Chain A
Amino acid sequence: MTPVMAWFRRPHATCVMVGILAAMLAGAGTARADTPPPLPGFIHDGALTVCTNPTLPPMTFVNGTDVKAVDGIDMDIARTLAAYWHVKLTVTTMDFTGLFPSLAAGRCGLVASGIIRLPQRERNFDAVAYQDTALVIVARAGTHPLGGMAELSGRKVAVQAGTSYSARMARENEALAAAGHAPMIITAYPTEEQVVQQVLLGRAFALASQDVELAYRREQLHGRVRVIFTPPYPEYRHFALYIRKDAHDRALLEQAVATLRDNGQMAAIAQKWAITPDTTQALGATAPAFHWGTFFGALTSAAFMRGAFITLAVAVLSHLTAIAISLPMALVLNGRDCVLKTGLTAYVALFRGAPTLLQLLFIWNALPQFLPFFREAWFTPFLATWLSLSINESAYQVEINRAALLAVDPAQAVAGHALGLSRGQVYRHVIFPQALRIALPPTINAFISLLKTTSLASVISVQELLAVTQIQVARTFEFTEYYAAALVYYLAMVFFFLLVQKRVERRFSWADQYRAGTHAS
């Protein structure tokens, strides 16, 4: 809430003060007196829900080590809009490719993530422009400026995946082909800092990005890049806020943005983030070095510990659930033919066959379109990850269980029955303990694999270890230090579980003649 709004809410405000404020605000045209402006339909339960991919400074990014604190122009605008409507703001972070599906699924009311206003996007969503910009072609410092896009013929150009740049570059390629030139080689990377890194490493000749972002990146890049060309694209002139198609909501949002522009709040935000593009200027480049301080700082940061904890929690919960589901499944699959067995065979084939990432995206983005139940707030990205990894892992675990149960000599069950044990007792006391020993090594192996698969959850905005790492890299451009810190965490977790495995295996000494001997004596 802005200070102005706070004034309005003071119950003891005198008539004089209200009069002064009303006079002050009359020119600015904000909401008058205590009545807030009409609320658009995308605001629910007194909250404006905004989705963003915080890897695009200065529009939207994590400006510090707390990965939950999203900052930037977009966030300032979101905060100002929430204050304008007198509602609270909820920010959800996710992968760029997840933004529009989430908007379509109703998981957010508004997408503010440094996204260009484009006619293609406006076919499915409504867009309201809020910030001017320009598409720029950027290369390493020392590269000669271009006379036109044709000079990029045959060169490698990096762009961020899911953005409209790759489509725009493809159109440029058509023009090049029509003119008899070789096309540009377009390579797409999931995050903006990786795009920049390809140019810094010399892997790509140039990148396509926004001048606003480059202005902000100047400090991090130490003048290692420069703008070599600004293509005259009329459509790449505005950042826009996106909402689901609704003419009424769009009019209200346009009115809100116009109000903020008129009362100077937009200008204040732009000034705060110092968007004064002067990217053509190249400063002296600094030599890359490994910053031990950054590395140890990351290692001991609350953000990394929290990320590692989430990684661990997702993996442990998913695997425990998978084991619980897969045990009865294995018993059915090892049993006689029946409808249930056919169904489970199909289940195993489906979930082993489909890529884990696809399953995760399906459950998070596609499922809510059929089952509105999954659109509700309780269905968090964490739960979606837990659900999809449990299902996925159970399809693998059931095979481990099946093999382990089959490996126990059937005569063991006969011996148990001959002693008068019930079916349940035979499973509990005779078969399971022996199957457990056989299943344990492959199960720990599967768990270690799962522990690393959890990194996929970053795509649907779970702040696990790799997501935290990437957010920190986007903020600082210190790839090596943060990657190394993440590596240390992953290795520490894996080694811990290998140790647990050794420990547990020692309890199964009955299967090993030599060790059983030492155990008994």
Chain B
Amino acid sequence: MHPEPGAVLSIRNLSKLYKDFTALDRISLDVRRGEKVVVLGPSGSGKSTLIRCLNRIEPHDSGSLHINGQTITARTDLIRLRALVGLVFQNYNLFPHLNVLDNCALAPRLVRKMPRAQAEALAMRFLQQVNIAGQARKYPIQLSGGQQQRVAIARALCMQPEIMLFDEPTAALDPEAVSGVATIMNDLAAQGITILCVTHEMRFARHIADRIVFMDQGRIMEITPPGQFFTNPQTRRAQDFLNQMIA
């Protein structure tokens, strides 16, 4: 099987094993440029493992992965790959010893070898985009969860990736902060950045998704537009999942 033309991300029969446990079982998925794909599924279904495989924080065991037409293997330059694919974590994972500006400017300085002034200017640009530039000199511990998550998004954006991966970005946020993150994601997609987001948050998923990928036990059960997924899921497993979430 060949990657679909026009897809920024193509996954073919991707599997990941932890000893005897199959975390990902022959996953196949194509994502277009600028698309927002939300991955849903119960705990342990392999959603987080999937997106961690996409920038090789977790290497896959079999199958193939193509990003921008390039096949990702053990020999791929990880530094270039990760500049192309940004990752935002559930717990933000900001660097506590650096202030907001330095958190954002660190990777451009070290990886892209940017001079400090240029890296900071870049950081300020993305901090403005996520509307947190006023806190640039503060340390992470002084910010609220929502503010920290916006800094984490700005930090990933500073590497100017084409694909942004979000691993449950709203799990630790209050509803107001959740809608702030949703707005940012829509902005990013409008700029042509492709988004893959793992979440538990149904309303959030419905609000941002172009397509919903539903996973269970390491496999993709169905891929549907959100309107159809939430009203008329195709699999029994998805129905059970939605009933549980609503109950």
Contacts and interface: CB of A to CB of B under 8 A. Distances in A.
Contact of A434 (B79, B89, B96, B107): B96
A510 B82 contact: no
Interface in B72-94: 78-80, 82-83, 86-87, 89, 91, 93-94
A510 B55 contact: no
B57 A419 contact: no
A420 B82 contact: yes
Contact of A418 (B82, B98, B138, B140): B82
B141 interface: yes
Interface of B: 55, 57, 78-80, 82-83, 86-87, 89, 91, 93-99, 106-107, 110-111, 137-142, 155-156, 159
Contacts, number: 80
A510 B139 contact: yes
Given A415-B89, A418-B87, A513 B141 contact: yes
A510 B78 contact: no
Contact of B95 (A412, A417, A513): A412
B166 to A, nearest CB: 12
Given A411-B89, A434-B96, A517-B142, A421 B137 contact: no
Contacts of A509: 139
Most chain B beta carbons < 10 A, residue from A433, A512, A517, A520: A520
A418 B142 contact: no
B139 A412 contact: no
Contacts of B57: 414, 417-418
A430 B95 contact: yes
A516 B110 contact: no
A506 to B, nearest CB: 14
A421 B93 contact: no
A281 B139 CA distance: 79
A418 B55 contact: yes
Most chain B beta carbons < 10 A, residue from A419, A425, A511: A419
Given A429-B110, A516-B141, A420 B159 contact: yes
Contacts of B82: 417-420
A156 interface: no
A437 interface: yes
Interface string A484-521: 00000000000000000000000011111100110110
Contacts of A449: none
Given A415-B93, A418-B87, A434-B97, A520 B111 contact: no
Nearest to A517: B142
B141 A510 contact: yes
A422 interface: yes
Interface residues of A, number: 28
A81 B89 CA distance: 81
B93 A414 contact: yes
Interface of A: 409, 411-412, 414-422, 425, 429-430, 433-434, 437, 508-513, 516-517, 519-520
Most chain B beta carbons < 10 A, residue from A415, A430, A511: A415
B83 to A, nearest CB: 5
Given A416-B95, A417-B78, A420-B78, 9 more contacts: A418-B87, A420-B107, A421-B107, A422-B79, A510-B99, A513-B142, A516-B139, A519-B139, A520-B99
Contact of B156 (A411, A417, A419): A419
Contacts of B79: 420, 422
B93 A516 contact: no
A411 B111 contact: no
22 contacts: A411-B89, A411-B93, A412-B93, A415-B93, A417-B57, A417-B82, A418-B87, A419-B82, A419-B106, A419-B107, A420-B79, A420-B111, A421-B110, A421-B111, A434-B97, A508-B97, A509-B139, A510-B98, A511-B96, A516-B141, A516-B142, A519-B139
Contacts of B87: 418
A520 B106 contact: no
A417 to B, nearest CB: 6
